[in-house]
Amino acid sequence: MIHLLAEAGDLARETVEVEGADHRHLFRARRLKVGDRVRLIDGRGSARWSVVDQVTAGRAVLRVEGVAPVFEPARPVALFVSALRPERAAWLVEKATELGLRELQWFVSERTSRSLPARALERQRRIAKSALEQSGGAWLPEIGVPVPLEEAAIGAGSVALHPGAATSFMAVAGSAEAIVVGPEGGFSEREIEELAGRGAVPAHLGPRVLRTETAAVAALAVALTAMS
Amino acid sequence: MIHLLAEAGDLARETVEVEGADHRHLFRARRLKVGDRVRLIDGRGSARWSVVDQVTAGRAVLRVEGVAPVFEPARPVALFVSALRPERAAWLVEKATELGLRELQWFVSERTSRSLPARALERQRRIAKSALEQSGGAWLPEIGVPVPLEEAAIGAGSVALHPGAATSFMAVAGSAEAIVVGPEGGFSEREIEELAGRGAVPAHLGPRVLRTETAAVAALAVALTAMS
List pLDDT tens digits, range A86-118: 999 999 999 999 999 999 999 999 999 988 999
The amino acid that residue A54 corresponds to is: Q
* DSSP character at residue B43: B
CA angle (A50 as vertex; B212, B186 as ends), nearest 5: 20
CA distances from B129 to A34, A106, B39, B107 (A): 51, 29, 14, 22
Of A136, A170, A207, the CB nearest to B208: A136
Alpha-carbon distance of B46 to B149, in angstroms, equals 32
Asked whether the predicted pLDDT for residue A41 surpasses 80, the reply is: yes
CA distances from B226 to A21, A224, A228 (A): 41, 13, 14
> In terms of Cα–Cα distance, which of B36, B37, B44 is closest to B7?
B44
Alpha-carbon distance of B98 to B90, in angstroms, equals 12
Beta carbons of A206 and B228 less than 8 Å apart: yes
Alpha-carbon distance of A87 to A68, in angstroms, equals 34
Alpha-carbon distance of B33 to B52, in angstroms, equals 7
Alpha-carbon distance of A203 to A206, in angstroms, equals 9
Write out chain B residues lying below 8 Å of A210, CB-based: 98-99, 135
Residue with the bigger pLDDT between B174 and A179: it is A179
Q: For residue B185, give the chain A residue with the closest CA.
A: A1
Asked whether the predicted pLDDT for residue A228 surpasses 80, the reply is: no
Alpha-carbon distance of B16 to B64, in angstroms, equals 7
The amino acid that residue B158 corresponds to is: S
Of A137, A211, A222, the CB nearest to B208: A137
Beta carbons of A206 and B221 less than 8 Å apart: no
Q: For residue A69, give the chain B residue with the closest CA.
A: B207
ipTM entry: 0.92
Write out chain B residues lying below 8 Å of A159, CB-based: none
Provide the H-helix boundaries in B100-228. Answer: 118-135, 169-173, 189-197, 212-226
Alpha-carbon distance of B53 to B108, in angstroms, equals 48
pLDDT for A186-205, tens place per residue?
999 999 999 999 999 999 99
Alpha-carbon distance of A45 to B77, in angstroms, equals 35
pLDDT for the residue numbered B228: 64
Per DSSP bridges, beta strands A47-55 and A59-67 are: antiparallel
pTM: 0.93
Q: How far is B86 from chain A (nearest CA, A)?
A: 15
Write out chain A residues lying below 8 Å of B173, CB-based: 225
Alpha-carbon distance of B216 to B80, in angstroms, equals 9
pLDDT for the residue numbered B83: 97
pLDDT for the residue numbered B227: 77
pLDDT for the residue numbered A115: 87
Alpha-carbon distance of B225 to B217, in angstroms, equals 12
pLDDT for the residue numbered A83: 97
pLDDT for the residue numbered A7: 87
> In terms of Cα–Cα distance, which of B52, B53, B46, B48 is closest to B26?
B52
Write out chain B residues lying below 8 Å of A207, CB-based: 71, 136
- CB A39 within 8 Å of CB A1: yes
Alpha-carbon distance of A67 to A227, in angstroms, equals 25
Beta carbons of B214 and A71 less than 8 Å apart: no
Regions of chain B where pLDDT drops below 50: none
Alpha-carbon distance of A112 to A57, in angstroms, equals 47
Q: How far is B41 from chain A (nearest CA, A)?
A: 14
Q: For residue A220, give the chain B residue with the closest CA.
A: B218
